[in-house]
Amino acid sequence: MSSTEKKIKVLIAKPGLNGHDRGAKVVARALRDAGMEVIYTGLRQTPEQIVETAIQEDVDVIGLSILSGAHMTLLPRVTQLLKEKGIDDVLVIAGGIIPTEDVPKLKEAGIAEVFGPGTPLQTIIEFIRKNVKRKR
């Protein structure tokens, strides 16, 4: 990275009530070690809070971690709120316990990619670098 280039800024968020944060933290750490600037929201976030933080922190990427089974309601709500606020240049990705058959519906709703259990960290890092919409 050249000195004039800005770091990719990522918000790792835990929508909903589940406390399973192992994956979120491991990914947050990996992205930080890969040279990105990472903010972790902590637990029990509403989609509204996540979008609010994303705007305030001016992030390029939102990574949503969810293992509660409530992904079909909470994840599309995040992308919908972004759309309502006219934000179309933030890359939204997700990870957690998400059945394969739900993935096409989530993608339709604007989640760029869903990373299930067993995904190598490098895959996520590369996906972000390749697909980040904003040029810093």
Partner 1 sequence: MVIVVFKDELIEELKKKVEKWEKECVQEELKRHPERQKEFKTLSGIPVKRVYTPLDVQHLDYFKDLGLPGEYPFTRGIHTTMYRGRFWTMRQFAGYGTAEQTNQRFKYLLKEGETGLSMAFDFPTIIGLDSDHPMAVNEIGICGVAVDTLADMEIIFDGIPLDKVTTSMTINAPTPVLLSMYIAVGEKQGVPMHKLGGTVQNDALKEFIAQKSYVFPPEPAVKLVTDVIEFCVKNVPKWNPISISGYHIREAGATAVQELAFTIADGIAYVEAMLERGMEVDEFAHRLSFFFASHNDFFEEIAKFRAARRMWARIMKERFGAKKPRSMWLRFHTQTSGVALTAQQPENNIIRVTIQALAAVLGGTQSLHTNSMDEAWALPSEKAVRIALRTQQIIAHESGVANVVDPLAGSYYVEWLTDKMEEEAMKYIDKIDSMGGMIEAVKKGFPQREIAESAYRFQKEVDEKKRIIVGVNEYIDEEEKLEIPLLRVDPEVVRVQLARLKKVKESRDNERVERLLGELRRAAERNENVMPYVLNAVKAYATLGEIMGVLKEVYGEYQELIIF
Q: List contacts with partner 1 (CB under 8 A).
A: 16-22, 24-26, 28-30, 32, 38, 40, 42-44, 46, 68-70, 73-74, 97, 99-101, 116-118, 120-122
Residue 132 C-beta: closest distance to partner 1, Å: 21
Q: Measured from the CB atom, is 40 or 111 closer to partner 1?
A: 40
Q: Measured from the CB atom, is 52 or 134 closer to partner 1?
A: 52
CA 32 remoteness from chain centre = 14
What are all long-range contacts of 119-124, with beta carbons under 8 Å and residues at least 24 apart? 119/95, 121/26, 121/27, 121/30, 124/27, 124/30, 124/31, 124/63, 124/93, 124/95
Q: Measured from the CB atom, is 91 or 124 closer to partner 1?
A: 124
